[in-house]
Structure 1
Amino acid sequence: MKIKEQVYCINGLNYMIRSAVETDAKDLSSLRVQIDGETEYLDREQGEAFIDEEGFKQLIAADTENARKLFLVASVDGNLVGFCRCEGSVLKRFSHKVEFGVCVLRDYWGYQIGKKLLESSISWADMNGIKKIGLNVLETNKKVIKIYEEFGFKVEGVLRRDKILSDGKYYNTIVMGRIIE
């Protein structure tokens, strides 16, 4: 599915949120690897579960054609700095919900890019009759957990000792959901 482009200026930074297009595939492949190397908040270490340009082309095409999927990118001066996806299931019993994930380059934290990607995703979900958005967040990512709560997400559970990080310690994953009754 596609959305209308949105332009923002926050803390002096101009950026655009828009639907991903096929020509973004090469940049998305390298962007994902870079972001994975900048934070342990995400599931992958740098280079794990690598998706090449062709893989991203396929994802973008599938997400654009499917009314239960959304693939957005954030760009600054034409360069991609983040992205998010909402992915719904093809199974009828799960057709009311999508899973949300977002990532932004560390240099662009603090400009509300992740928040604007989330807002756009929620707006899309609400306009398309999606009743639940689910997501997972590392327990130490307190700032993002607070943002999710501000948007109506509630803690649905905790996956104990779910991830092991570079310090050798285990961390919990917080499962959150936003439900429209």
Structure 2
Amino acid sequence: MGAIERPTFSSDASRQLYEYVERNGTVKRHKLLDVVSLPTDEFRDHLEGLKSDGYLEEDGGTLQISLEFGAITEYEIDDLSFLVRPGRQDDFDGLIETIRDVTAAETYVVAETIAEELLYEDSVSRHNAVKSRMFFVASVDGEVVGWTHLDLPQVEPMQGTAQQTVGVREAYRGNGIGTKLLARGIEWAEANGYRKVYNSVPITNDRALEFLTVHGWDTEAIRRDHYEIDGECVDEVMMAYEL
């Protein structure tokens, strides 16, 4: 199932099963059986239908939503080897730590908001009739060191644009990781029919603004005094990349 496809269900029971997994990130199979009042055979039929339709996937009795985000790519730059791959539920703690590492060093309000959403919802990926959220991560020796995030509205008038964020832990900057992550998100958005990605950054975050500008992003608008940071009003720079 692709993240731009709205989920549709053959029965109310299938919808309930999917929505429970989608809200919770991962769910044990035996726990899911308690969600709907169904005989075991019917439960199995609905669950197998969701799996065969590409809505859910199961690994060792643990279920999660199944989204087609692409392959794992390995890079070696200078002496550093890293992977860029789709994010998954077991990256949850690493994502939170990485986002907080980035936002501790520089003001990135949108990324801070994403971290709070992750903590509140306890789920890396979201995909429902209203919104989708997906991540690609960069990992070194299994540790998450960077991310790019795409927020994908499902409301039809907004389906052509996606919000993208990107960040890399301070200790791993200067190795091209951010460039690879940014490109991976853009490539995915373009391949899936989006016409624009955008990113909103406080005007005081010189490093982020320079990074985006170097990679071809343009200033689309400035919202005056949009943030209050350390007691001072700060403009928000809305950057965009046309696909």
The answer as to whether partners of 1:38 and 1:105 remain within 8 angstroms in 2 is: no
Aligned to 2:179, what secondary structure does the other structure show?
helix
Aligned to 2:118, what secondary structure does the other structure show?
coil
Specify which structure has the bigger relative contact order, considering alpha-carbon pairs within 8 angstroms and separated by 6 or more residues: 1
* 1:174 partner amino acid: V
Partner Cα distance (2:227, 2:164) in 1: 19
Distance 1:149 1:44, change over 3 A: closer
CA apart distance, 1:121 = 0.7
Structure 1 spans left out of the alignment, 5+ residues: none
CA apart distance, 1:179 = 2.0
CA apart distance, 1:101 = 0.9
Report the equivalent of 1:171. 234
* 2:200 partner amino acid: N
The answer as to whether partners of 2:138 and 2:177 remain within 8 angstroms in 1 is: yes
- What is the alpha-carbon root mean square deviation over aligned residues? 2.9
- Bigger Rg over Cα: 2
Q: Percent identity?
A: 23
1:151-172 alpha-carbon deviations (Å, 9 max, x no partner): 4322111112222334x44322
CA apart distance, 1:78 = 0.7
Q: Quick one: which of 17, 23, 34 aligns to 2:101? A: 34
Partner Cα distance (2:112, 2:144) in 1: 20
Aligned to 1:49, what secondary structure does the other structure show?
helix
CA apart distance, 1:143 = 4.2
Structure 2 spans left out of the alignment, 5+ residues: 1-67
The answer as to whether partners of 1:13 and 1:111 remain within 8 angstroms in 2 is: yes
Distance 1:153 1:20, change over 3 A: same
The answer as to whether partners of 2:99 and 2:112 remain within 8 angstroms in 1 is: no
Distance 1:34 1:148, change over 3 A: closer
CA apart distance, 1:67 = 10
The answer as to whether partners of 2:147 and 2:167 remain within 8 angstroms in 1 is: yes
1:94-147 alpha-carbon deviations (Å, 9 max, x no partner): 111100011221111212222211100111111111111111122233443344
Q: What is the aligned residue count? A: 174
The answer as to whether partners of 2:118 and 2:124 remain within 8 angstroms in 1 is: no
TM-score, normalization by structure 2: 0.62
Distance 1:67 1:89, change over 3 A: closer
TM-score, normalization by structure 1: 0.80
Aligned to 1:59, what secondary structure does the other structure show?
coil
* 2:121 partner amino acid: G
